Each structure stands twice: as C-alpha cells, then as structure tokens.
Amino acid sequence: MRILVTAGPTREYFDTVRFISNPSSGKMGCLIAEQAKKRHHDVDLVLGPVAIQPPAGVNVVSVTSAREMWDACVGVFEHCDAAIFTAAVCDYRPSRKMNHKLQKRAQDRHITLLPTRDIAASLGKIKQHRITIGFAMEDHDHHAHAEQKLRRKNCDAIVLNGPENVGSDDAHVEILSSDGQWTGPFSQSKRGVADRIIRLVETLVLNSV
C-alpha cells in the first residue's frame, strides 16, 4: 500500500524574514510515516519546516508554504491508496509578500489575509476509492467541530486532539469514523497512536476493495 502523510506547520511570509505560522512540531506525522514504513508500506511524507529528522526509508518532500504543500500533495495523491493529513496548514496567508524586510515604524501596519486551500477537503472531493484520515486540533466545541470537519473534508475518519498535544511525546485523542462512531478518549504515546492509525487505515483500505 502507498500512503501519503502530511506533517508539520506551514509558513506564510509577508516579507523576506517574517511569517505567520503555528507551533506544530511534526512529531505525530513523522511517527505515522515511521510506523507505516515498519509495516512495509510505501510512504510519501510531505513535510513542513520542522526541527526533527524525518524517518528513514520514506520519500520526503520538504515544503514551506501552504501552496507548496498543496502542489506536493496533488502530485502524489493520485498514486496513493490512502492519505493521512496531520499537517497544521495555515488557514490564511498574506495577500502579498514584500521583497524586502519591512522596517519598524511607530505606526500601525495592516496586513490583508487570504484563505489558503484546504488540502484535505479538496482531495476528499476527488478521492474515489481512496481512504483519507484527517486531524482536528480543537480548543472548544471539540466534538461538534470534528464532526463538521469529517463531513466537509469527506474523510473516512478524523482524529480529534488538542493544543496540549503539541510538541509532546504523548497524546490524548479520540477518533471519529464516518459512520458517526467515536472511540472514546484515550491517552497513549504518539508512537502508539501512530500504530493505531496505520492499522485503522489498513482495515479501511481492505474493506474498500
């Protein structure tokens, strides 16, 4: 089986050195890629800017912006059996990037933000027989937002987690399947969660044949 995994943050620059981003470490996505490889799957890891080393033996596509991640995922997805979207893609980007560093001034500056493309939702529309797993990072109305994302992104399952998991070696998560069933919350090492997600993908792919 060939699996696409996205991981890490994106950076959306408004001048040559400053950008909008988020604190995603990429740990979860890299561990999912690692576990998939250990279970003898081919893995394409589309990886945003992170400080950790990606696992050995997987095809790593390094990207910076949401647009670059979009382009990489579209190029890989048609050859995959499944995709797992763990990346924390910025929801907005500056409308323009200055070609020089903006100098500090004693007055307000205003930046217009435009929405970025929703990679999981876009690929969910064209996935056909392929399996897609999304992630929902929520800090309020957790279940409602995860359920909305599952439908909007046309995912086969979505993993609900919270800001407390960022950068940690452990994770407290719940998994919602497309039939509306929740696993119930559980805490486990991120490696353990990664193994559980890969086994879920294997089952879903097998059932989709």
Catalytic residues: 22
Question: Are 24 and 165 a contacting pair, CB within 8 Å?
Answer: no
Close Cβ partners of 33 (under 8 Å, ≥ 6 residues apart): 3, 5, 7, 43, 45, 54, 55, 58
Residue with tokens 């996505």: 29
Radius of gyration over every alpha carbon of the chain, rounded to an integer in angstroms: 17
